[in-house]
Amino acid sequence: MAKRTTQWRPGAAVMAVLGLALTACGGAKVGDDSAAPDGGSGKCGTFNLAVNPWVGYEADAAVVGYVAEHELGCEVVEKDLKAEIGWQGFETGEVDAILENWGHDDLKKKYITEQKTAVDLGSTGNKGIIGWYIPPWIAKKYPDITDWKNLNKYASNFKTSESGGKGQLLDGDPSYQTNDEALVQNLKLDFKVVYAGSETALIQAFREAEKNKEWVIGYFYEPQWFFSEVPLVHVELPAHTKGCDAEPAKVACDYPVFDLDKIVSTRFAKSGSPAYDLVKNFTWTNDDQNTVAKYIALDKMTPEAAAKKWVTANPEKVKAWLG
């Protein structure tokens, strides 16, 4: 029997567990809900999948989890974890795979190089871009604002009750990969970083700012389905050069383009699980991810339904993952 269990964990504490049992029999086709083949040996067992808090990652997990269940007969256990908490789970066996890692060279050094509890399985195929963005109406009315050198001229327009007399630079979840506090300080900008707390809150702030002609500047990223609804405009920071972000406290350059990659536990890599090969072979494009993320975030489909729709429409890609 294939099964998916989702565990919601703020930090490492389990708040709730939701189990959804799905019948698995032989002879299934990709995207067929009625059955799942036994994946060769038929002994996938439990597949512990970390899910970080943004909908693009949720799209990754939905599709990989769906294929693992329906094609390999795995019992998929999804665990909602902040980025570093997921890495900590490698040694204990609580986490088998992280499907979308954004850089985190510090974590790679600690868990891959030093502790040897993790293995890098290469690119997801997604290119990640982080930066500062504004609603289109601001860029259209004040075109020079897209150069960081002019931000202080407009800082007072971005003031909020939370920014202490300075302009507000809105960030997302504090666990996200960010250099923004260092950038504000080192570029001598009259701004204060304020955390919205989540991707959903960031999106809603940008959506309302465009609709109501409000002043918002904030951290955002691609791949991201929301650009198809509101085409946010990127603010150019000093160009990224190799090593310019080596010392976090001294960062004064834009973010690099991230080659998003997959990280798995060493014990999972040695387990012989067919889910390991699935993760190793898993690649798709920013457009693929954005499609599934939009199904979930905007069309309000369940992750399972969104995954099924995409998998059914892309059988050749899924076959390649299954080898």
108 and 253 assigned to the same domain = no
The size of the chain, in residues, is: 323
202 and 277 assigned to the same domain = no
113 and 172 assigned to the same domain = no
292 and 276 assigned to the same domain = yes
What is the rounded CA–CA span in Å between residue 147 and residue 141? Answer: 14
Q: Of 206, 226, 257, which closes a domain?
A: 257
Q: Which domain holds residue 22?
A: 2-126+260-322
156 and 264 assigned to the same domain = no
Q: Of 242, 257, 272, which closes a domain?
A: 257
33 and 107 assigned to the same domain = yes
- Is residue 166 within 8 A of residue 190, CB to CB? The reply is yes
What is the rounded CA–CA span in Å between residue 64 and residue 75? Answer: 12
265 and 277 assigned to the same domain = yes
For the chain, the domain total comes to: 2
Q: CA 41, 46, 47 angle in degrees (round to 5)?
A: 100
Q: Is the peptide bond before 135 cis (omega within 30 degrees of 0)?
A: no
200 and 246 assigned to the same domain = yes
What DSSP assignment string belongs to 73-130? --EEEEEE--HHHHHHHHHHTS--EEEEE---HHHIIIIIIIS--EEEEEEEEEEEEE
- The label of the residue with tokens 């999106």 reads 203
134 and 252 assigned to the same domain = yes
Domain of 307, CATH number, reads 3.40.190.10
Could you list the pLDDT tens digit for every one of the 323 residues in the chain? 345 665 543 333 333 322 323 323 233 333 333 333 333 345 899 999 999 999 999 999 999 999 999 999 999 999 999 888 999 999 999 999 999 999 888 999 999 999 999 999 999 999 999 999 999 999 999 999 999 999 999 999 999 999 999 999 999 999 898 999 999 999 999 999 999 999 999 999 999 999 999 999 999 999 999 999 999 999 999 999 999 999 999 999 999 999 999 999 999 999 999 999 999 999 999 999 999 999 999 999 999 999 999 999 999 999 999 98
39 and 133 assigned to the same domain = no
105 and 152 assigned to the same domain = no
Domain of 184, CATH number, reads 3.40.190.100
Q: Of 203, 223, 257, which closes a domain?
A: 257
104 and 185 assigned to the same domain = no
Q: Mutual orientation of helices 315-322 and 274-281 as an angle, nearest 10°? A: 130
- Is residue 278 within 8 A of residue 145, CB to CB? The reply is no
